[in-house]
Amino acid sequence: MFSLLIVIYIAFISLGLPDSLLGAAWPMMYQDMGVPVSYAGIISMTICFGTVISSLLYGKLNSRFSTQFITAVSAGMTALALFLISLSPSFPVLILIALFLGLGAGSVDAGLNSYVSIHFKAREMSFLHAFWGIGTTVGPFLLSWCFSNGFSWNRGYLTVSLLQALNFVILVLSFPLWRKAAANANHNDSNEKKRSASFRELVRKRAAIPAMIGFFGYCAAESTAILWSSTFLVSKGAGEAAAASASGLLFWGITAGRIVSGFISNRMGDRRMLNLGECCTFIAIALIIILPQQLAPFALFFLGFGFGPIYPSMINQTPKYFGVEDAPGIMGLEMASAYIGSTFMPALFGLLSRHLSLAVFPIWILILFIIHTAGILSKRKLRYGSEKEF
């Protein structure tokens, strides 16, 4: 199982690679394509839309195909989409490819999260998302190297597509490991099925709506920061290479926060980890507002560090707040809220910045994070089930 876990971690590194590329490359991409800077939100929304579709379809796909097959095919789709983006001649073509990219990424995300949650422990889940963070750190630094050496964003996308192709090959070669793990586990999927509550029943659960608001606010803030931090720094006078490199520190911070969380969350508990992450995030937003442009990379790293433990902690709290029986249904609502936040809020900021200024970037992040915090506090007040502190 350890060898298979290594393969899964490699796959999640590859899953994180494309997530950071668009934000780092956009300051140059929008000029090459002759579109307004705000159009990054359209691309981000299209990718998220594809991700939502493939995530929702994963259950039906998994009933017909194995996890490893779906993951490998999706990785191949992602590699092809990134290669096509590197050749994209216009913005309309880029939109179509972005949808294809999202369709590939969603099944990898849903499949591997589901597999790890069933066959491994919570610590492995925390480190799984840390490896996603490692993948997200590579993209901006790779683009920074391309910009510094006179290459365009196309070369960066081409390079990442080759790395994704390598991941596809690794996944295909790992098929015997998956079959061996399945044989050793003697796992009966029917034992994992829970009571299927209706949508109305789930929404009416105590604290369900605040939980959804918490996921919406956090994922909206994180996605907006990922997409727009590089462009924000360029608007403050940073060079394109320096801005791409600095935005990469945001992902380093997320990765570091999740690695630390993996080591200490069992002792501190999800509630304290959430409190710690939220306090760090509020401080980081204040630093982005008051620090000069030269110190912005430090603030972005600290912002990512605050983000790090929040998402895994919220996921881990779900069965504790709502019970194991209703946890899958509630988590579906939470993921839907998260995707809505990730899809629409970065695009909305793009429109807002077009009419106001990119200088409102940290204020927008602050507003979204206040929404997240309000949801979390309301969830605690109305928590379902045990009165034990989580």
* pLDDT tens-digit series, residues 264-300: 877 888 888 899 999 999 999 999 999 887 888 889 9
For the ranges 64-73, 184-193, 301-310, 320-329, the maximum mean pLDDT occurs at: 301-310
The CATH label, of 3.90.1150.10, 1.20.1250.20, 1.10.3720.10, 1.10.8.100, for the domain at 9-175 is 1.20.1250.20
Domain 198-390 indexed as CATH 3.30.70.150: no
Q: Which amino acid is at 220?
A: A
Report d(CA 25, CA 54) in Å as an integer: 25
Contact 277, 138 (CB under 8 A): no
Residue-range domain boundaries for the chain: 9-175, 198-390
Contact 89, 142 (CB under 8 A): no
Report d(CA 6, CA 24) in Å as an integer: 28
Report d(CA 257, CA 252) in Å as an integer: 8
Report d(CA 333, CA 352) in Å as an integer: 28
What pLDDT, on a 0 to 100 scale, did the predictor assign at position 38?
78
Residue with tokens 């510094």: 148
What pLDDT, on a 0 to 100 scale, did the predictor assign at position 324?
64
The region, left, alpha or beta by phi > 0 then psi within -120 to 50, assigned to residue 248 is alpha
Predicted TM-score (pTM) above 0.85: no
Report d(CA 298, CA 288) in Å as an integer: 9
Q: How many CB atoms lie within 10 A of CB 173?
A: 11
- The pLDDT of 220-234, averaged and rounded, is 88
Taking only the tens place, the pLDDT of each residue in 249-273 is 887 898 889 888 888 877 888 888 8
Contact 128, 38 (CB under 8 A): no
